[in-house]
Amino acid sequence: MTTLAEKFGRDDWTRFTLRQRMTRYAVIFGCALAIAWALTSIEVIWAWVWGAPEQIGDLFGRMYPPDPTNLETILKVLWDTVNIATFATTFAVLLSLPVAYIAAQNTTPNRATLWLGRLILVTSRSVNTIIWALLFVAIFGPGVVAGILAIMFRSIGFVGKLLGEAIEEIDKRPVEALEATGASRFKVIAYAIVPQVMPTFWAVSILRWDINLRESTVLGLVGAGGIGIILQGAIDTFNWPEVATILIAIIVLVIIGEVISAFLRRRIL
Amino acid sequence: MSAPRDTWKKPPFIANPVLRWAVILGALAYFGWVGTTMPIDWNRVAEGIGRAGRIFGGAFPPSFERSGLLIDGFLESLKIAILATAGGVLLSIPIAFMSARNVAPKPIFYLGRAIIIVARSFHPVIVAILFVKAVGFGPFAGVLTLIVYSIGFVAKMLAERIEEIDFGQVEAMRAAGAPYFSTLTYAIFPQIMPRQIGLTIYQLDSNLRASAVVGIVGAGGIGATLANAFGRYDYDFALAITMVIVGVILVSEAVSGLIRKRIQ
């Protein structure tokens, strides 16, 4: 039997070899360096940083107790927020169907449409909802339309990408079977492809609706409708107790949304 | 047995006909009612078509004249993302331990879960405005915002990983009489470390993305530059910024995916 010393050149046990340890130290050193660079060059007023806990405490202190006098308006706008999310999700899901179809390698008619599909998905996904909202508020003016369009444009990429991947992963035997019987392209899609991607379709739609509910709460901050508008108004007038009520309303909305989407997912899938 | 049919129909999506029609009618009623009562100013929307032409006319070609501002904005976003990831991940570790059912006592478990739920419920933009009001405009508000955002995600995922660990090692440590913190460092940390590192890299990518957005409400970084360009109707500069944001996001997504794949 060989001893540890003969086998490894040392007789004490360590978890990593010298080389592994050196790599680990180098990575840690690199991270520390990045953090030090960020800390020393970021333009912050350090006096504000030291005063921050006090300021934040003060802010929350002013929010207590929450003021429910405007609850009726808040609930009404909250309902608008839900509608923005629901409408935008519905339109986005419908529009993402053809995009997913041309962005999936196995169903796209040709190379050009494949790249067109991918371009639409990447553009839609990489531009954040808020940036879309800035654009649509500039075009259509403040209001619900800008909000719906912003969420829609962001969601098409998300739903389209996941749906496209689902189409790429389908079992292609049903497709071949239908094609062999001479079925039309439309019938192949309806009877061989759609049934296979249906579970993903519902799962993705529900997931996106849940995400959109959260996103639609902030659209108002750039003027695109929903609860964000009155939140911005309350903050601008330093009406902190009302801000607290709105924040609580948002949490409740998000939690209800999560419960509903969990319920639907269980029922459908 | 009923007479055999010679045609086949696709089975309906919802088998119960009463429920099926209720769902269809309910959906139609909802969309019809809400669609007609939504507060939409159609005249203003119609005007928008002309405006869209003007905006896109003004946006092309994108202007990279002030690329100095663009680069400064980006470096600031990067710094915000790095600091927020470092701070957020450090804070997430204790919170994750608090909210893992198998290692935390009941009251602490509920406290930890509550922190995560609150951090996750608020969109970073809402958190950003609150911090901008509390600590003033600039990158510091951005860092605080993204720390909250990171906690919501990293602590949740890490807590789930802690709940899945192999408990044998913890029991072995306890049987040997190890104190609480030694148990954490020797029995739990080695098991969750790979997930922790993967999450950190993912969160850095995610924070970089979010830092472009929180800037729009005044929390520093490239988002502030973008909001300013939009506010001054510099649509050509705004388009340039958006293009760079998209480019950087694609690159950072690819890099973070690559690193995570190599680690796991």
Per-residue pLDDT reduced to its tens digit, A89-109: 999 999 999 999 998 888 888
Nearest by CB to A59, which of B130, B140, B242? B130
Nearest by CB to B249, which of A31, A35, A126? A126
Nearest by CB to B48, which of A127, A141, A222? A141
Chain A positions touching B119 (Cβ under 8 A) are: none
Per-window interface: A 74-113 vs B, CB < 8 A: 80, 83, 86-87, 90
Q: Do A251 and B79 touch (CB under 8 A)?
A: no
Kindly state whether residues A154 and A258 are assigned to the same domain. yes
Kindly state whether residues A17 and A111 are assigned to the same domain. no
Write down the mean pLDDT value for chain A: 86
A139 neighbors A146 (Cβ within 8 angstroms)? yes
Nearest by CB to B121, which of A39, A218, A250? A250
The percent of residues above 90 in pLDDT, for chain B, comes to 17
What pLDDT does residue B232 have?
A: 82
Per-window interface: A 129-158 vs B, CB < 8 A: 130-131, 134-135, 138-141, 143-145
Chain A positions touching B131 (Cβ under 8 A) are: 56
Instruction: Report phi then psi at A126, rounded to 5.
Output: -85, -20
Q: Do B39 and A126 touch (CB under 8 A)?
A: no
Provide the domain count of chain A: 2
Per-residue pLDDT reduced to its tens digit, B77-122: 889 999 999 999 999 999 999 998 888 888 999 999 999 988 888 8
Per-residue pLDDT reduced to its tens digit, A26-41: 988 998 998 888 888 8
Q: Do B79 and A49 touch (CB under 8 A)?
A: no
- Residue A79: pLDDT over 70: yes
What pLDDT does residue A5 have?
A: 63
Q: CA of A247, closest CA in chain B: separation in Å?
A: 8
Identify the CATH homologous superfamily for domain B69-263.
MetI-like (1.10.3720.10)
What pLDDT does residue A2 have?
A: 61
* pLDDT (average), residues B115-130: 87
What pLDDT does residue B90 have?
A: 92
Kindly state whether residues A150 and A252 are assigned to the same domain. yes
Q: Is B94 or B44 the better-scoring residue by pLDDT?
A: B94
* pLDDT (average), residues B185-206: 88
What pLDDT does residue A93 have?
A: 93
Per-residue pLDDT reduced to its tens digit, A233-265: 888 888 888 888 998 898 899 889 989 998 988
* pLDDT (average), residues B68-81: 87
A108, part of any domain? yes
What pLDDT does residue B67 have?
A: 80
CATH of the domain at A173: 1.10.3720.10
**Mutate which: A145, A209, A246, vs B, most B CBs within 10 A:** A145
Model pTM score: 0.82
Q: Is B262 or A240 the better-scoring residue by pLDDT?
A: A240
User: How sure is the predictor about A85, in pLDDT bands with cuts at 50, 70 and 90?
Assistant: very high
What pLDDT does residue A155 have?
A: 93
Kindly state whether residues A173 and A85 are assigned to the same domain. yes
CB atoms within 10 A of CB B66: 15
* pLDDT (average), residues B159-172: 89
- Residue A126: pLDDT over 60: yes
- Residue A232: pLDDT over 60: yes
Chain B positions touching A215 (Cβ under 8 A) are: 123
Per-residue pLDDT reduced to its tens digit, B22-31: 888 998 998 8
User: How sure is the predictor about A7, in pLDDT bands with cuts at 50, 70 and 90?
Assistant: low
Kindly state whether residues A133 and A31 are assigned to the same domain. no
Taking CA–CA distances from A38, the nearest residue in chain B reads B79
What pLDDT does residue A21 have?
A: 85
A58, part of any domain? no
B152 neighbors B126 (Cβ within 8 angstroms)? no
Tell me the C-alpha distance between B51 and A14, whole Å: 68
Taking CA–CA distances from A83, the nearest residue in chain B reads B34
Tell me the C-alpha distance between A244 and A147, whole Å: 24
In terms of residue numbers, what domain contains A19? 1-41
**Mutate which: A40, A41, A130, vs B, most B CBs within 10 A:** A130
- Residue B147: pLDDT over 80: yes
Domain ranges of chain B: 69-263
Amino acid making up residue B60: F
What pLDDT does residue A208 have?
A: 92
Chain A positions touching B246 (Cβ under 8 A) are: 122-123, 126-127
* pLDDT (average), residues A138-153: 88
Q: How many residues does chain B have?
A: 264
Residues A186-192: contacts with CB within 8 Å, 24+ apart?
Answer: A189/A101, A189/A107, A191/B10
A60, part of any domain? no
User: How sure is the predictor about A160, in pLDDT bands with cuts at 50, 70 and 90?
Assistant: very high
Chain A positions touching B153 (Cβ under 8 A) are: none
What pLDDT does residue B95 have?
A: 93
Tell me the C-alpha distance between B125 and B134, whole Å: 14
Residue B11 DSSP code: P
Residues A247-251: contacts with CB within 8 Å, 24+ apart?
Answer: A247/A63, A247/B122, A247/B126, A248/A66, A249/A74, A249/A75, A249/A78, A250/A217, A250/B121, A250/B122, A250/B126, A251/B117, A251/B118, A251/B121, A251/B122
A96, part of any domain? yes
Per-residue pLDDT reduced to its tens digit, A196-214: 888 889 999 999 999 999 8
B260 neighbors B198 (Cβ within 8 angstroms)? yes
Write down the mean pLDDT value for chain B: 85
What pLDDT does residue B212 have?
A: 83
**Mutate which: B90, B140, B148, vs A, most A CBs within 10 A:** B140
A66, part of any domain? no
User: Residue B12: exposed, middle, or buried by beta-carbon count in 10 A (0-12, 13-18, 19+)?
Assistant: exposed
What pLDDT does residue B3 have?
A: 63
A52, part of any domain? no
Kindly state whether residues A252 and A193 are assigned to the same domain. yes
- Residue A156: pLDDT over 90: yes
Query: DSSP 3-state assignment of A181?
Result: coil
